[in-house]
Amino acid sequence: MTQFGIYEFGIYRKSQLKNLKDLKTFLADHKKISITLYDQIVDEPNAEELAEYILLEATDERGAYKRTYAKRFESFDGTILDHINQHFNSKNLISVHDLAVSDGRTAVGFFEKISKIFPKISYTASDYSPNVFVIEKKPYTITISPSGKVLEILWPPFVCKPLKRDRYYSINYIISVFLQFFIAPSILKMHKKGLLKARELSLFAPSVLKLSKIDERFNLMQHNVLNPLSDNYNIIRAMNIFNTSYFSVDEFKIALKNVYHGLKENGFLITGSNQDAGSLVHGGLYQKTSKGFKKLWQSGDGSPIDSMILKAHTF
């Protein structure tokens, strides 16, 4: 893992993760860590911390970052739960769909709190691209999205992320281009012909995967907010996803239509955004009506798409 200013060696073996101080370059930037290590650290004592490091610069095929932080919306969640508790009967079954949860840590936090109030709960946490696929052909390992887009190319000791250009190391950039255009295509071609098998790798956090295995009330799935929901829910939660930088106006109309039809009568839409864990959430709580959405409560400056939500009178 030597750096001389023109190239950087990545981290691609589990043994290289033992000392977290070694995960930064001489420029104090984070070293590239292969996503292929993600399922190798689940039993480590510091699995959650290691998972966060691995996902630090990992993105899906849209370039969206996968990481989240635990206890990110604590104050916001507390007020939301008060409203939910006042509206729904805790003795009845309540269904929740948590959209675009990234690695799912915030979904676990919300589930743990709401399930104490509503023990009869069905909770679904979904993300646009929760799984990736790893194809190996020595000495190369390629990680692709479900649609086949190359997310990472590992050629030890180099870890190349095609969706993000190297900022400092010219040699890494040259190697990345070479791998993308001369190595990856032939490997992908062999994979499509069935000559190379891919292993599926879930990018949900270790704590999220563990919870889904031990608690049948908590389920994980893949879902694109631009596609209709296959079921109806009492509550739909969409945190840090309904931002104007992510979707066009037309796409927001589609997403809101899907949410509206995915809610049961008088159901709740929870949406908001913030920066760091514990920072002020700009969001709100909305209720489904026969004509659209009605705002029940607002936090901070409100949802980034508050006006779109309230103007969406008919669907």
Q: What pLDDT is attached to residue 123?
A: 98
Please determine, for residue 2, whether its predicted confidence score (pLDDT) is greater than 60.
no
CB 83 within 8 A of CB 297: yes
State pLDDT tens for residues 96-131: 999 999 899 999 999 999 999 999 999 999 998 899
Evaluate whether the domain defined by 74-129+203-311 bears CATH number 3.40.50.150.
Answer: yes
**Is the per-residue pLDDT at 314 higher than 90?**
no
pLDDT score of 268: 98
Using CA atoms of 253, 257, 258, 260 in order, give the dihedral in degrees to the nearest 10.
140
pTM of the model: 0.86
Average pLDDT score over the chain: 89
Between CA 160 and CA 36 the distance in angstroms is 12
16, 31 Cβ separation under 8 angstroms: no
- Does 7 have pLDDT greater than 90? no
pLDDT, tens digit, for every residue of 17-55?
Answer: 887 666 665 544 667 889 999 999 888 888 888 888 888
Report the pLDDT value the prediction gives residue 179, as an integer from 0 to 100.
95
The CA distance from 194 to 276, in Å, is: 44
**Per-residue pLDDT tens for 186-236?**
999 999 999 999 999 999 998 999 999 999 999 999 999 999 999 999 999
pLDDT in tens, 274-292: 877 678 999 999 999 999 9
Higher pLDDT, 58 or 242: 242
Cα separations in angstroms, 71 against 4, 59, 111, 279, 284: 39, 22, 12, 10, 18
Q: Where are the domains of the chain?
A: 14-66+131-200, 74-129+203-311
**Who's near 221: CB < 8 A, 6+ residues apart?**
124, 125, 126, 130
Q: What share of the chain has pLDDT > 90, as a percent?
A: 65
Buried b (16+ CB within 10 A) or exposed e, 87-113: ebeeeeebbbbbbbbbbbbbbbbbbee
Q: What is the pLDDT of residue 63?
A: 66
